[in-house]
């Protein structure tokens, strides 16, 4: 028998072609003891706590519940921002006592709102000044890769970094991803923080961030099930909510966690832990976020652990090369948001985030939304591009690359309108 024939008869053909075989994903609606979950009460009271603990212990890690000393100062207010369309506030929140960390919230609110407004809350990659060309935004102090390592072929997150004030020419460089004017004209606010204020996004960034504020005495590193930087960033998003709840211009029942890519993963985990997020939006969060790990079509758990060893809890490293042993998968993270509104989106030219895996996770999580009588995604085939599907759990695939675009924001604003209208009419 030829070698080729031997392979063909002895292993499934997917393996013969180099594609890992599809592995059944864990079931959201079967308890650890094997009992089926038949209704929303059983989900909330029995199954959700199991899912939460499994996700916490194996993926993102435990967030310390201790309070840290916090002081808040509104450092500037401009009621004529964006040509009069917006109120811009900047708020500094200082955490800690002897050891201190500061985050700087940039908040835009519609200038002429008749009632308190809903607010999108999200972290930015490169400093608050990148979010809009508005010259009144304070330049963030950012971490930039050490230029001495420019020629070193290594992910920037693994290089050495230098902290410095962002350059003025970076103003507005991410404006298309934030669409601030569209958001305020639609009657919503936007609150954002440079993620590096919470924790710098590189391997030794833990030392510059908030995690040490919550370490126990003589603790140097997180425990095996302790939080990684995604946990720290999610903690920071909850601290933003602490402030937003105190601002009378904001409707605290309409706070939306939003995030793109690594901060999409963060928005999901923030929403899973903190029910004050009334709605969650995951824009192309990919592996370690909305996408399924098991198909291994795109980025894998192994890749995340090598390139970003500090994002997840140390336990997550147990699944490098052992994805099938993970007790959870992307649909578990999504189900933790239920029955609150959740929007997951993918882009066709972003195969690395595995659009198919994100869609399949949404389809699987839909079963949980249906238990609550909520409209979720009923189709099982990937919808055409720019054709959102679902209701309270919604999904779209758009044309174009890994990004946040005007199209994405149009959908998120419409989603928020639809969902909050239903909420208001109850």
- Using the contact rule CB under 6 A, the part of the chain among 111-119, 174-182, 206-214, 286-294 near ligand GCU is 286-294
Closest contact distance (angstroms) between CB of 304 and ligand GCU is: 6
By CB neighbour count within 10 A (0-12 exposed, 13-18 middle, 19+ buried), where does 49 fall?
Answer: exposed
Closest contact distance (angstroms) between CB of 287 and ligand GCU is: 5
Please give the Cα distance from 100 to 309 (Å, whole number).
25
Closest contact distance (angstroms) between CB of 307 and ligand GCU is: 6
3 sits in which H/E element: helix 3-10
Q: Does position 283 bind ligand GCU by CB under 6 A?
A: no
86: left (phi over 0), alpha (psi -120 to 50) or beta: beta
Contact pattern from residue 218 through residue 257 relative to ligand GCU, giving x for each residue in contact according to CB under 6 A and a dash for the rest? ----------------------------------------
Closest contact distance (angstroms) between CB of 387 and ligand GCU is: 24
Alpha-helical (H) ranges within 21-142 are: 40-42, 48-55
- Using the contact rule CB under 6 A, the part of the chain among 82-90, 191-199, 284-292, 381-389 near ligand GCU is 284-292
In the set 63, 140, 287, 419, which binds ligand GCU (CB under 6 A)? 287
Q: Does position 345 bind ligand GCU by CB under 6 A?
A: no
Q: What is the 3-state secondary structure (H, E, C) of 312-364?
A: CCHHHHHHCCCHHHCCCCHHHHHHCCCCCCEEEEEEEECHHHCHHHHHHHHHH
Q: Is 261 a catalytic residue?
A: yes
Tell me whether residue 287 or residue 296 sits nearer to ligand GCU (CB atom). 287
Contact assessment for residue 163 and residue 139, using Cβ atoms and an 8 Å cutoff: no
Contact assessment for residue 265 and residue 285, using Cβ atoms and an 8 Å cutoff: yes
Is the torsion defined by CA of 273, 274, 279, 282 positive or negative?
Answer: negative
Tell me whether residue 285 or residue 411 sits nearer to ligand GCU (CB atom). 285
Contact pattern from residue 262 through residue 281 relative to ligand GCU, giving x for each residue in contact according to CB under 6 A and a dash for the rest? x-------------------
Q: Does position 101 bind ligand GCU by CB under 6 A?
A: no
Q: Does position 299 bind ligand GCU by CB under 6 A?
A: yes
Classified as helix, coil or strand, 283 is strand
Please give the Cα distance from 141 to 166 (Å, whole number).
6
CA–CA distances in Å: residue 100 to residues 71, 160, 212, 237, 423 = 11, 22, 10, 18, 39
Q: Does position 261 bind ligand GCU by CB under 6 A?
A: yes
Closest contact distance (angstroms) between CB of 128 and ligand GCU is: 18
Q: Does position 179 bind ligand GCU by CB under 6 A?
A: no
Which listed residue (238, 303, 317, 402) is catalytic? 402
In the set 145, 209, 286, 295, which binds ligand GCU (CB under 6 A)? 286
Which listed residue (40, 140, 174, 261) is catalytic? 261
Contact assessment for residue 377 and residue 361, using Cβ atoms and an 8 Å cutoff: no
> Position of tokens 């990004």?
403
Q: Does position 124 bind ligand GCU by CB under 6 A?
A: no
Q: Does position 140 bind ligand GCU by CB under 6 A?
A: no
Give catalytic residue positions: 261, 402
Q: Which residues bind ligand GCU (CB under 6 A)?
A: 261-262, 286-288, 299, 307
């Amino acid at each position: 028998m030829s070698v080729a024939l031997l392979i063909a008869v002895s292993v499934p053909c997917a393996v013969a072609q180099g594609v890992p075989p599809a592995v059944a994903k864990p079931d959201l609606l079967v308890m650890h003891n094997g009992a089926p979950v038949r209704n929303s009460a059983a989900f909330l009271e029995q199954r959700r706590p199991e899912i939460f603990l499994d996700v916490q212990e194996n993926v993102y890690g435990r967030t310390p519940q201790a309070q840290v000393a916090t002081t808040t100062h509104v450092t500037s207010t401009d009621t004529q921002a964006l040509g009069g369309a917006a109120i811009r506030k900047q708020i500094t929140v200082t955490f800690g006592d002897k050891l201190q960390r500061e985050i700087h919230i940039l908040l835009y609110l519609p200038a002429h709102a008749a009632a308190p407004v809903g607010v999108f809350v999200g972290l930015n990659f490169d400093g608050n000044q990148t979010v809009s060309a508005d010259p009144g935004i304070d330049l963030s102090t950012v971490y930039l890769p050490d230029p001495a390592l420019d020629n070193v072929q290594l992910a920037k997150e693994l290089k050495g970094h230098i902290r410095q004030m962002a350059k003025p020419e970076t103003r507005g460089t991410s404006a298309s991803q934030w669409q601030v004017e569209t958001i305020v004209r639609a009657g919503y606010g936007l609150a954002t923080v440079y993620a590096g204020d919470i924790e710098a996004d590189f391997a030794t960034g833990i030392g510059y961030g908030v995690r040490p504020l919550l370490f126990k005495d003589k603790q140097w590193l997180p425990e095996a099930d302790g939080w990684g930087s995604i946990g720290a960033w999610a903690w920071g998003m909850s601290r933003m909510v602490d402030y937003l709840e105190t601002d009378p211009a904001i409707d605290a029942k309409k706070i939306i966690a939003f995030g793109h890519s690594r901060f999409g993963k963060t928005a999901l985990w923030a929403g899973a832990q903190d029910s004050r997020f009334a709605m969650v939006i995951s824009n192309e969060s990919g592996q370690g976020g909305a996408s399924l790990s098991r198909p291994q079509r795109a980025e894998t758990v192994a890749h995340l652990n090598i390139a970003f060893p500090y994002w997840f809890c140390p336990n997550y490293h147990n699944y490098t090369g052992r994805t099938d042993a993970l007790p959870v998968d992307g649909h578990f993270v999504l189900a933790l948001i239920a029955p609150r509104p959740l929007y997951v989106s993918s882009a066709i030219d972003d195969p690395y985030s595995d659009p198919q895996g994100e869609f399949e996770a949404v389809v699987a999580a839909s079963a949980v939304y249906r238990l609550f009588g909520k409209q979720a995604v009923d189709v099982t085939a990937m919808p055409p591009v720019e054709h959102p599907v679902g209701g309270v759990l919604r999904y779209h695939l758009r044309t174009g690359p890994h990004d946040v675009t005007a199209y994405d924001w149009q959908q998120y604003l419409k989603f928020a309108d639809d969902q909050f209208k239903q909420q208001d009419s109850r």
